[in-house]
Amino acid sequence: MYDDDKWNPVEGAELEGFLSQIDPVDGKFRVSVKNTQVHWRLLPFYDSVALIRVRDSNWVNKKLNVYYLTDHGTLFRLNGTSPPIHEVNGKAPIKITDANVLDYLRFFCFFVRGEEGPFYIAESMDDPNLPARMDDTARAVIESTLRPASYEGNNEQGHRLCSAVVFYSNALFIANFAVQPTGMIEMLDDEPIAADLSARVELPIA
């Protein structure tokens, strides 16, 4: 998620102070100045809320990344459920526009999870978060299905309509969404493309 150059490192005294706030993460993941990397980045649908990413070389699950939203120093742990996001959306407040609605859709579907993980918006085979290992059949299906997410305009309620390919667990489907100005998202319908693929999205956040 967000594998680009917009992440900023947290270092020195700022790192020490932040780690002292969150250690141990969820009561079970220890962090330390020596082994923990912390980065932050801005999000286009908030004026002053930043996304914080935490990873540690000593954690058993090397794929685990822990995330928080921070709003004027208050931390909101992104744990796979929607309440922390909706709380920030109400407080910040969220500002969804035609230009950033797809960014918000990607964000929401990544961080609000089902039992099998994120509803990952998959758009390109170049995405480093897609499974590294897949057989030829899975690769062919995925490659022929992926396309950029699209904003389709507004409905009569003023909700922004979007369409995207979703990779959930080891299944692929095309879904249509309605994004409300408040940040609530409704999946209007979905069309299954493939199930029981040999590859699955594994991007743990808790």
Q: CA nearest 52: which of 87, 9, 84?
A: 9
pLDDT confidence tier of residue 132, bands split at 50, 70 and 90: confident
Q: Can you give the pLDDT at residue 2? A: 67
CA angle 168, 121, 97 (to 5 degrees): 140
| C-alpha 148: how far from chain center | 16
Q: CA nearest 119: which of 103, 130, 106?
A: 106
Q: Can you give the pLDDT at residue 39? A: 97
Digit-coded pLDDT (tens) for 136-152: 999 999 999 999 999 99
Digit-coded pLDDT (tens) for 6-30: 899 999 999 999 999 999 999 999 9
Structural domains of the chain, ranges and CATH numbers in brackets: 8-91 (no CATH), 101-194 (3.10.450)
Per the CB < 8 A criterion, the answer to whether 180 and 135 are in contact is no
